[in-house]
């Protein structure tokens, strides 16, 4: 009788373990689906990491030579950003 009880208990544990494994597999799949856009975006950024670092280093070098350029560049970047937003709104209509 003791062996039958132990076998039944072991069977219940194995079933519970299998169910938990299935739940974990499902949770991992859901997690991967939810984070796929973030992963794709990070891969795109990583692909262009070299040119981004090179460009930012070049920009810092150029700006450090002449302090007056920083203000002008900042003002121009705001104007370009505003114009791009307005153009996007006009095209979207």
In this prediction the pTM is 0.48
**CB proximity list for 73: less than 8 A, separation 6 or greater:** 63
Name which residue leads in pLDDT, 62 or 11. 11
Question: What's residue 36's pLDDT?
Answer: 93
DSSP assignment of 30-80, as one string? HHHHHHHHHHHHHHHHHHTHHHHHHHHHHHHHHHHH-THHHHHHHHHHHHH
Bigger pLDDT: 65 vs 34? 34
User: If phi over 0 gives left and psi between -120 and 50 gives alpha, with beta otherwise, what is residue 21?
Assistant: alpha
Q: What is the pLDDT of residues 1-52, one digit of tens each?
A: 698 999 999 999 999 999 999 999 999 999 999 999 999 988 888 888 888 8
Tell me the C-alpha distance between 23 and 17, whole Å. 10
């Amino acid at each position: 009788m003791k062996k039958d009880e132990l076998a039944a208990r072991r069977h219940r544990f194995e079933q519970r373990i299998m169910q938990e494994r299935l739940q974990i597999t499902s949770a991992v799949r859901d997690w991967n689906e939810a984070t796929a856009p973030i992963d794709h975006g990070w891969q795109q950024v990583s692909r262009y990491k070299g040119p981004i670092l090179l460009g930012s280093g070049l920009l810092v070098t150029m700006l450090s030579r002449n302090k007056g350029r920083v203000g002008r560049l900042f003002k121009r970047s705001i104007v370009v950003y505003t114009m791009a937003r307005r153009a996007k709104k006009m095209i979207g209509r």
